[in-house]
Amino acid sequence: MKFFIDTANLAQIKEANDLGILDGVTTNPSLMAKEGIKGEQAIMNHYKTIAELVDGDVSAEVISTDFDGMVAEGKKLAAIRPNIVVKVPMIKDGVKALKWFSDNNIKTNCTLVFSAGQAILAAKAGANYVSPFIGRIDDGGWDGVQLIEQIAGIYTIQGFETEILAASIRNPLHIIKCAEAGADVCTCPLDSILGLLKHPLTDIGLAKFLADAKGVK
């Protein structure tokens, strides 16, 4: 399973990248706004900075909701750097745009996916990634991980090549469950990635090893 970081914060992207386990980055308009990045040029520059920082795919989201607008925006985003992936919302014109991008060799990530039906449509339209938002599904009282498992089953049976990118990850357990459920990628906040390495017995064991090592010096 690949690890992406879900942020537009450069310091956090660098920290995850320095760990050596980062495969890519996802952003969205809310994450860009959180970093105070406003205006078309500033947004494009920020995507360029992120795409230069990491080797893997960087999702950059369109904000148009009509086919022509999405295609025009996506072309500009894709031209920033070869590792930019155009993020397109799961709406009717979005499906058309996904197909257009696929036909024109522009990589895409279909976002705001909350059902298996939407995931099938994204795959049919040729999306490279599909992003089910598992945390938001959990928030509504459903089981986000179960959706990952369902989509993984369908994609295997049907031979779809679209990668399942589990998004809206809220904690380390989400990452583990998504790995079990067959996600190809997890896009996570830095805290959830770092949370994976914590275990009290590791700390206790290390303290003991270090204490014993002092004794035999």
Q: Is 99 in the site for ligand G3P (CB under 6 A)?
A: no
87 is catalytic: yes
Binding mask 46-85 for ligand G3P (x = CB under 6 A): ----------------------------------------
Of 140 and 200, CB closest to ligand G3P: 140
Coil vs helix vs strand at 13? helix
**d(Cα 193, Cα 5) in Å, to the nearest integer?**
8
To ligand G3P, the closest distance from the beta carbon of 83 in angstroms equals 17
The stretch near ligand G3P (CB under 6 A) out of 68-76, 100-108, 133-141, 155-163 is: 133-141
Taking CB under 6 A as the criterion, the residue among 13, 71, 167, 188 binding ligand G3P is 167
Q: Quick one: the chain helix, strand, coil %, rounded to 5? A: 55, 20, 30
Of 40, 57, 50, residue with least CA distance to 14? 50
Closest C-alpha among 50, 79, 54 to residue 3 = 54
Q: Is 26 in the site for ligand G3P (CB under 6 A)?
A: yes
Beta carbon of residue 80, minimum distance to ligand G3P (angstroms, whole number): 19
Burial class (CB in 10 A: 0-12, 13-18, 19+), 201: exposed
- Selecting among 48, 87, 208, 214, the annotated active-site residue is 87
Residues annotated as part of the active site: 87
